[in-house]
Amino acid sequence: MKISYNWLKEFVDFDVTATGLCDILLFLGLETKIVSSSGNWTNVITAKVLTKDKHPQADKLSLCTVDTGSTTYSIVCGAANVEAGQIIALAVIGAQLPGDFVIKKAKIRGIESQGMICSEVELGLAAQSAGIMVLPENTPLGKPLESVLDSLDTILDVEITTNRGDCLSHWGVARELAAKFNTAVRLPEIQAIPFDDSFPVTINDTDLCFRYIGCVIEGVTVKPSPDWVVRRLESCGIRAINNIVDITNYVLMELGHPLHAFDIENLEGKQIIVRRATALETITALDGKKYTLNDTMLVIADAVKPQAIAGVMGGEHSGVTESTKNIVIESALFAPVSIRKTSKKLELSTDSSYRFERGSSWDASERAAARAVELIIRLAGGTLRNSTDRAPQPHAPVMIDLRTAFVEKVLGLAVPYAEIKTILTHLGMIVSDRPSGCSVVVPSWRRDVTQEVDLIEEIARINGYEHIPQTVMPIIPDLQENKSRKPVMTEIYARLTALGFSEALNYSFVEEKELTLFALSSSHRLANPLSKEYELLRPSLLPGLWKNLKSNLGQGFPDVRLYETGTVFTSVGEKKRLAVILTGCVWGSWWQWYGKKVPQAADFNFLSGILATVLCDRKYRTVENKNCQSYFHPGKNARLEIAGKLAGEFGVLRPDYCQQLGCGDILYGEFETDILELPAGDKDKRYSALKRFPPVNIDLSLVAAFSVPLDSIVTVITRTAEQELEIDTQLIDVYADAVKIGSDKISYTLHLSMRRSDRTLTDQDTQKIVADILAALEKKHAVVLRK
Amino acid sequence: MNADALLKEAGDKLAAARTPEEVEAVKVAYLGRKGAITEILKGLSSLPIDERKIAGQQANAARVALEADVEVRLRDINSAVLAGKLASEKIDTSPQLAFPFPLGSRHPIRQTMDEMVSIFRSLGFVVGDGPEIETDWYNFEALNIPANHPARDTQDTFYLEGYKQLLRTHTSPGQVHAMETRQPPLKIVIPGRVYRNEATDATHSAIFHQIEGLAVDTNITFADLKGTLTLFIHRLFGSSVKLRFRPSHFQFTEPSAEVDIQCTICGGKGCRVCKNSGWLEVLGSGMVHPNVFKAVKYDAEKYTGFAFGLGVERFVMFMYGIDDMRLLYENNLQFLKQF
């Protein structure tokens, strides 16, 4: 809301600059900025041009002598319009003009100028000007310019929070300042309207209209408003129309209550009926547009049809025009929710609807009507003929009991009762002492104050938040939390980072075609998406990471490793997931310069190794995946299980995806973080005794069918070990040769390290162990020694 | 030659030896299985008794002395070799030659959230969670934002099809969940993702992150709110950063306060980031509104509490001088690797 600094000063006395005022309002909860200001200069004084001569060295310059009444200056002036006899604005040496422009003694084409004759542009008073500013002939000389210009003002933009509809006017802001400055608000003297109930007003829907004041003024002359009205409206960003409309707006900006003026001759039956619209009833409003109404909307109608959309906008038909002679001034109270719904539905927000939505006050409705009537009679002539104040229910003021002890309980600051009383009284509250505090009658404009805490906020606000001390609560750690929640994910993130993964964060929105690509579907669709790209909620982290992979490859990163954690939205609800995606070399690109190794492309086993490191403290199992997501290569993926629960799937994406991006294998895995975080049983973790006897090492080259997973071979070997025996296996070679071992076979060379915990193994022991292993392998999986 | 003469001869040869191998050869020549001194010791038995004793002593003394000389000579040669190595070997220690282990990075938003959460943990807050799909009750009603309240204008909401569910517009519904499931005393922070139906540009994002905080007990005051948030900001930015608390309005707190910190970029002088005000608006906060306590069936006479919420992206942007919010969601490795 734009307000005028000068106008504000009419309501309350203060001695601060506009900048200072912004600070004070900020700490009252009203964020205020200076929009524009005029008069930002020093040492500019009024003076008369005595003589004007041509500059001997320059055709376009003049030499002037100017007189301030006490001193005569000689000035070089470049403006074409300067003439002897004019009264002008003279910036003397040392003057400061807007834009940090300081006037210094200067020689212009060899002749000294003792100052500058200012134009409106130089003074910041206009964007353009034809030459120097010429002041009226009767302007006194030698005065500071700002003292003779009555158009100087600072325009402030005040941001009003939704609860403070009462501050949406000069009076409203002035009330706040008065409370802060410990002074009273000065309101214009307004004569009360002698209501005689002679104008027919009927309120049909008393749930939506609480009061309707209608005042008939006859014999007005509609014409342009006087300058001071126009100027004030303009300073608030309101365009002047005619004196009647301008006065309603003037009162709006002054007292904050929206008014409307009807041409009574265009009201059928010369009466007002406040009612709900009927379905499909239409009205052409003052903006010239036709609106179709429905039966939830309130209208101001005459005997026949709607003449205004209540609280939102008047109708064109009964609007005030140049030929209007007799008018009705409306000042009413409407239900905020209804006005808001209507305004939203019609997509029509006005100064009036904005205020009614935030709540208007009983007090202001009457005050505004009286003020408008008075101004109209003063500025447009006419006589108040009829006036009606219709209210189905009388106003019931809000009363609140305030306990001083509760003030301290909430604020942590003991505010003396006397101070509380002063603050509340200055805010227009009627305060009665009570043993534990006071009883407060809230003024009708403070609709936001309904409870004890609301009063406490007022006390804190006016007293100043800066006076509330700072304390720190005792720190009591939550032992329960530390027990149940090990920072599993934190560890996982750290390991991923160490392994070269960067964390991505993608939007939770995806579009249909991103899902189709991976044969995914979303069960959550937005009703009001920003755009088609953002209409579904992601069921997987893959589409986002895929997009990131693609763009990073495009950016020239051949090796991309990314991970993301976030919520996905599935048919069984929200899930937190961790996903990894990678492509490129294992170490390759980093090593090329080193000349040590041929770059090796990341493959399934690489991802498998990544997971082994990342999940090193999780007891997980990888299991063959019969029904994998269709984006995986069916022969190159696995399930990951923890405690018998499926944590997720990982593997190589189908080759056609790699082809799309023109890169090598793309590895992907997506896991439920809830499952990853399952307790790994570390509470039962016990150290196992070190085996001090030397191991016996032996390498076995085995031949197995392709279909036998290495995991089952190793399991057979380790299970062969009796209690005191321990066998570690390490794969040292993989070999396949159709001719030598057969096309459906594969050979593994395993390095076995065997030892007992109770004694050194003998040759006999070793032979027996190896024989047992080989027997078991042959029996279980038809695995034999390579010849 | 007698043992003494041999010792002297061996001593000369040792002095001439230049390598450990040459020293070893000298040792073998005199003390080896067929060495000259060994031979004397071997031949002692053939000498007459009286000569045997003297010759024996002489030869043994020569052996011990020579062994010691060999040791010394070896040590000297080894240290000379080492000194030579140390003097001659020199590598380039430029960091560019360091073995390039792959290193990833944690997203700046998450790093910042982690840091903030850990500060609150150290102040005794626990970490909570809440769903991103919410109902009107948790996102608005229970937070004292009734239907058709103008306060809803500031939170453009995404609804799911059917308009029965919505994407939370703030992390504040987490407060309601926390209070519904726990009894005071309660100190909790809820970090999370929130959604606003507004077009994405350099300073706006339809998706962003917030951290919500809530403390409820029988004796929590506005002074505690000020103290706690001041401590938080000081831990995050250093204790010289100034804060100011100013009145504001949130439906679910009363009194409400907006927290500004002195601009960390310009130190309060005024710059582009703080729009020349010298201050950055970073936190919304206030004392929990009694209507919220009523909604979660807490006794509003007995308990008081404070709540706050902050937008993480805003912090990230001025902490790292990021001028376009969209960079945070582009996931360009050039960007991510900087953190």
pLDDT the model gives residue A365: 95
Residue B192 token pair? 């999370």
Q: What residues of chain B, 188 to 227, have a C-beta less than 8 Å from chain A?
A: 193, 195, 197-200, 206-207, 215, 217, 219-224, 226-227
pLDDT the model gives residue B284: 96
- Cα–Cα dist B169/A37, whole Å: 38
Q: What is the pLDDT of residues B6-61, one digit of tens each?
A: 889 999 999 999 999 999 999 999 999 999 889 888 888 888 888 888 888 888 99
Q: What is the DSSP letter of B95?
A: G
- Cα–Cα dist A746/A739, whole Å: 12
pLDDT surpasses 70 at A588: no
Phi, psi angle pair for A33, to nearest 5°: -125, 150
pLDDT the model gives residue B253: 96
pLDDT the model gives residue A15: 85
Q: What is the pLDDT of residues A67-126, one digit of tens each?
A: 998 899 999 998 889 999 999 999 999 888 877 788 988 888 888 899 999 998 888 777
pLDDT the model gives residue A594: 57
A29, A408, A569 member nearest B246 (Cβ): A29
- Cα–Cα dist B4/A786, whole Å: 67
**Length of chain B, in residues:** 339
Identify the weakest region by mean pLDDT among A45-49, B95-99, B255-259, B310-314.
B95-99
Identify whether B255 is preceded by a cis peptide bond (ω within 30 of 0).
Answer: yes
pLDDT the model gives residue B277: 86
- Cα–Cα dist A411/A18, whole Å: 31
Q: Which residue of A has its CA nearest to B281?
A: A31
Q: What is the pLDDT of residues A539-558, one digit of tens each?
A: 999 999 999 999 999 998 88
Q: How confident is the model at residue A482 (pLDDT cuts 50, 70, 90)?
A: low
Measured at the alpha carbon of residue A777, what is the angle toward residues A774 and A780, in degrees to the nearest 5? 145
3-state helix, strand, coil in chain A (%, to 5): 30, 30, 40
Distance of CA A72 to the CA centre of its chain: 59
- Determine contact: A534 vs chain B, CB below 8 A: yes
Per DSSP, the three-state class of B149 is coil
pLDDT the model gives residue B307: 98
Q: How confident is the model at residue A175 (pLDDT cuts 50, 70, 90)?
A: very high
Q: What is the pLDDT of residues A729-757, one digit of tens each?
A: 999 999 888 888 888 999 999 999 999 98
Residue matched to tokens 């809301």: A1
Closest CA to A447 of A352, A356, A372: A356
A548, A567, A591 member nearest B331 (Cβ): A548
Write down the H helix ranges in A62-220. Answer: 145-148, 170-181
Residue matched to tokens 């997931």: A577
pLDDT the model gives residue A356: 95
Residues in CB range of A293: below 8 A, 6 or more apart: A277, A278, A280, A281, A282, A283, A299, A306, A309
Q: What mean pLDDT do residues B251-258 have? A: 95
3-state helix, strand, coil in chain B (%, to 5): 45, 20, 35
Q: How far does B288 lie from chain A, in Å, by closest CA?
A: 10
pLDDT the model gives residue B268: 85
Residue B45 token pair? 């038995």
Q: How confident is the model at residue A593 (pLDDT cuts 50, 70, 90)?
A: low
Number of helices (H) and strands (E) in chain B: give both, helices first. 12, 9
Amino acid at B167: L
- Cα–Cα dist B132/B167, whole Å: 6
pLDDT surpasses 80 at B74: yes
pLDDT surpasses 60 at A485: no
Amino acid at A585: C
- Determine contact: A476 vs chain B, CB below 8 A: yes
User: Other CB atoms closer than 10 Å to residue A150's CB: what's the count?
Assistant: 11
Q: How confident is the model at residue A681 (pLDDT cuts 50, 70, 90)?
A: low
pLDDT surpasses 80 at A481: no
Q: What is the pLDDT of residues A662-679, one digit of tens each?
A: 888 999 999 999 999 887
Identify the weakest region by mean pLDDT among A372-381, B142-151, B320-329.
B142-151
Q: How far does A573 lie from chain B, in Å, by closest CA?
A: 9
Q: Please name each of the domains of chain A with its CATH number.
A: 2-38+154-181 (3.30.56.10), 42-148 (2.40.50.140), 201-390 (3.50.40.10), 399-467 (3.30.56.10), 484-682 (3.30.930.10), 690-785 (3.30.70.380)
pLDDT surpasses 70 at B106: yes
Mutation for B interface: A297, A354, A472, most B CBs within 10 A: A472
pLDDT the model gives residue A101: 85
CB of B208 within 8 A of CB of A509? no
pLDDT the model gives residue B266: 86
Mutation for B interface: A162, A166, A537, A587, most B CBs within 10 A: A162
Q: What is the pLDDT of residues A596-626, one digit of tens each?
A: 555 678 899 999 999 999 999 888 999 988 8
pLDDT the model gives residue A787: 80
Contact B248 A555 (CB under 8 A): no
Do the strands A745-756 and A696-705 form a parallel or antiparallel pair, or are they unpaired? Answer: antiparallel
- Determine contact: B333 vs chain A, CB below 8 A: yes
Q: What is the mean pLDDT of chain A?
A: 91
Residue B179 token pair? 């209070």
Alpha-carbon distance values, B123 to A545, B224, B232, B245 (Å): 36, 12, 9, 20
The DSSP string of A210-223 is EEEEEEEEES----
Domain residues of chain B, as ranges? 3-88, 108-336
pLDDT the model gives residue A683: 62
Q: Which residue of A has its CA nearest to B251?
A: A163
Closest CA to A428 of A167, A165, A160, A185: A185
Phi, psi angle pair for B287, to nearest 5°: -85, 135
- Cα–Cα dist B66/B37, whole Å: 10
Chain B residues in contact with A569 by the CB 8 A cut-off are 132-133
Q: Which residue of A has its CA nearest to B100?
A: A590
CB of A231 within 8 A of CB of A155? no
H or E element at residue A731: strand A725-735
Helix A452-463, helix A417-426: angle, nearest 10: 90
Residues in CB range of A381: below 8 A, 6 or more apart: A219, A220, A221
pLDDT the model gives residue A598: 56
Number of helices (H) and strands (E) in chain A: give both, helices first. 23, 39
A164, A497, A525 member nearest B103 (Cβ): A497
Alpha-carbon distance values, A602 to A440, A609, B103 (Å): 75, 10, 16
Write down the H helix ranges in A412-538. Answer: 417-426, 452-463, 479-484, 488-498, 512-516
Residue A538 token pair? 């992601």
Q: How far does B225 lie from chain A, in Å, by closest CA?
A: 8
Contact A477 B304 (CB under 8 A): no
pLDDT surpasses 90 at A128: no
Residues in CB range of B56: below 8 A, 6 or more apart: B41, B44
Q: How confident is the model at residue A463 (pLDDT cuts 50, 70, 90)?
A: very high
Chain A residues in contact with B133 by the CB 8 A cut-off are 524, 537, 569, 574
Q: What mean pLDDT do residues A637-663 have? A: 94
The class that CATH gives domain B108-336 is: alpha beta
pLDDT the model gives residue A431: 97
CB of A709 within 8 A of CB of A608? no
B131, B197, B290 member nearest A530 (Cβ): B197
Q: What is the DSSP letter of B97?
A: G
Q: What is the pLDDT of residues A269-296, one digit of tens each?
A: 999 999 999 999 999 999 999 999 999 9
Q: How confident is the model at residue B267 (pLDDT cuts 50, 70, 90)?
A: confident
Identify whether B185 is preceded by a cis peptide bond (ω within 30 of 0).
Answer: yes
Q: What is the pLDDT of residues A418-439, one digit of tens each?
A: 999 999 999 999 999 999 999 9
Q: Which residue of B has its CA nearest to A508?
A: B207
CB of A247 within 8 A of CB of A372? yes
Residue A452 token pair? 């004890």
Q: How far does A748 lie from chain B, in Å, by closest CA?
A: 30
pLDDT surpasses 90 at A767: yes
Q: How confident is the model at residue A760 (pLDDT cuts 50, 70, 90)?
A: very high
The DSSP string of A592-640 is GGGTSS---B--HHHHHHHHHHHTTTS-EEEEE-SS--TTEEEEEEEEE
Q: How many CB pairs under 8 A join A and B?
A: 224
Chain A residues in contact with B215 by the CB 8 A cut-off are 473
Residue matched to tokens 């991970």: A563
Q: How confident is the model at residue A264 (pLDDT cuts 50, 70, 90)?
A: very high
Q: How confident is the model at residue A688 (pLDDT cuts 50, 70, 90)?
A: confident
User: Other CB atoms closer than 10 Å to residue A519's CB: what's the count?
Assistant: 9
